Amino acid sequence: MNKAELVAEVQKSLGADTTKAAAERSVEAVLEAIKKGVKKDKNVQLIGFGTFSVTKRAARTGINPQTREKIKIKASKAVKFKAGAGLKAVV
Protein backbone atom coordinates (compact mmCIF):
# COMPACT_ATOMS: atom_id res chain seq x y z
CA MET A 1 0.00 0.00 0.00
CA ASN A 2 1.37 3.40 -0.93
CA LYS A 3 0.35 6.82 0.39
CA ALA A 4 -2.37 7.38 -2.22
CA GLU A 5 -3.92 4.01 -1.40
CA LEU A 6 -3.72 4.84 2.32
CA VAL A 7 -5.53 8.15 1.72
CA ALA A 8 -8.23 6.32 -0.25
CA GLU A 9 -8.64 3.79 2.57
CA VAL A 10 -8.92 6.57 5.18
CA GLN A 11 -11.51 8.35 3.03
CA LYS A 12 -13.47 5.13 2.69
CA SER A 13 -13.43 4.44 6.44
CA LEU A 14 -14.47 8.02 7.31
CA GLY A 15 -17.55 7.80 5.12
CA ALA A 16 -18.91 9.05 1.82
CA ASP A 17 -19.20 12.67 2.99
CA THR A 18 -15.41 12.92 3.50
CA THR A 19 -13.44 14.39 0.60
CA LYS A 20 -10.16 13.03 -0.68
CA ALA A 21 -8.48 16.29 0.34
CA ALA A 22 -9.76 15.96 3.92
CA ALA A 23 -8.54 12.37 4.10
CA GLU A 24 -5.14 13.42 2.78
CA ARG A 25 -4.93 16.21 5.39
CA SER A 26 -5.76 13.64 8.08
CA VAL A 27 -3.00 11.30 6.95
CA GLU A 28 -0.52 14.19 6.75
CA ALA A 29 -1.52 15.37 10.24
CA VAL A 30 -0.88 11.93 11.72
CA LEU A 31 2.49 11.62 9.98
CA GLU A 32 3.57 15.09 11.13
CA ALA A 33 2.50 14.31 14.70
CA ILE A 34 4.60 11.13 14.66
CA LYS A 35 7.60 13.09 13.30
CA LYS A 36 7.25 15.76 16.00
CA GLY A 37 6.80 13.15 18.72
CA VAL A 38 9.90 11.21 17.69
CA LYS A 39 11.93 14.42 17.49
CA LYS A 40 10.72 15.79 20.84
CA ASP A 41 10.18 12.74 23.04
CA LYS A 42 12.34 10.21 21.15
CA ASN A 43 9.44 7.78 21.41
CA VAL A 44 5.88 7.52 20.00
CA GLN A 45 3.82 4.62 21.30
CA LEU A 46 0.53 3.67 19.66
CA ILE A 47 -1.05 0.95 21.79
CA GLY A 48 -2.07 -2.03 19.64
CA PHE A 49 -0.08 -0.78 16.65
CA GLY A 50 3.56 -0.26 17.63
CA THR A 51 6.28 2.05 18.86
CA PHE A 52 8.51 4.44 16.93
CA SER A 53 11.78 5.17 18.75
CA VAL A 54 15.15 6.78 18.09
CA THR A 55 18.24 4.58 18.24
CA LYS A 56 21.88 5.58 18.11
CA ARG A 57 24.25 3.93 15.66
CA ALA A 58 27.88 3.90 16.76
CA ALA A 59 30.70 5.02 14.48
CA ARG A 60 32.18 2.10 12.61
CA THR A 61 34.50 1.10 9.81
CA GLY A 62 32.94 0.04 6.53
CA ILE A 63 34.12 -0.94 3.06
CA ASN A 64 33.42 1.00 -0.12
CA PRO A 65 31.93 -1.69 -2.42
CA GLN A 66 33.33 -0.09 -5.58
CA THR A 67 36.94 0.43 -4.49
CA ARG A 68 37.14 -2.07 -1.61
CA GLU A 69 38.90 0.55 0.52
CA LYS A 70 38.05 0.99 4.20
CA ILE A 71 36.04 4.05 5.12
CA LYS A 72 34.93 5.54 8.43
CA ILE A 73 31.19 5.76 8.94
CA LYS A 74 30.12 8.46 11.40
CA ALA A 75 27.83 7.85 14.34
CA SER A 76 24.20 8.58 13.51
CA LYS A 77 20.64 8.34 14.74
CA ALA A 78 17.90 6.22 13.15
CA VAL A 79 14.19 5.68 13.69
CA LYS A 80 13.19 2.16 14.68
CA PHE A 81 9.69 0.68 14.59
CA LYS A 82 8.64 -2.19 16.81
CA ALA A 83 5.27 -3.72 15.97
CA GLY A 84 2.75 -4.04 18.79
CA ALA A 85 0.73 -7.12 19.72
CA GLY A 86 -2.35 -5.98 17.80
CA LEU A 87 -0.42 -5.49 14.57
CA LYS A 88 1.44 -8.78 14.99
CA ALA A 89 -1.87 -10.59 15.48
CA VAL A 90 -3.19 -9.27 12.14
CA VAL A 91 -0.10 -10.32 10.23
The rounded average pLDDT for each run of 10 residues, N- to C-terminus, in the chain (91 residues) is 93 89 94 93 91 95 94 95 93 88
Q: What is the pLDDT of residue 42?
A: 86
What type of residue is 36?
K
Q: Please calculate the CA angle 28-33-35 and round it to the nearest 5 degrees.
A: 95
Q: What is the pLDDT of residue 38?
A: 94
Q: What is the pLDDT of residue 16?
A: 82
Mention every residue, 6+ apart, whose C-beta is less than 8 A from residue 70: 61, 62, 63, 64
> Model-level pTM greater than 0.95?
no
Q: Regarding the domain delimited by 42-91, which CATH topology (the fold level of the hierarchy) does it fall under? A: HU Protein; Chain A (4.10.520)
Show me where the domains of the chain are located. 1-41, 42-91
C-alpha dihedral sign at 80, 84, 87, 89:
positive
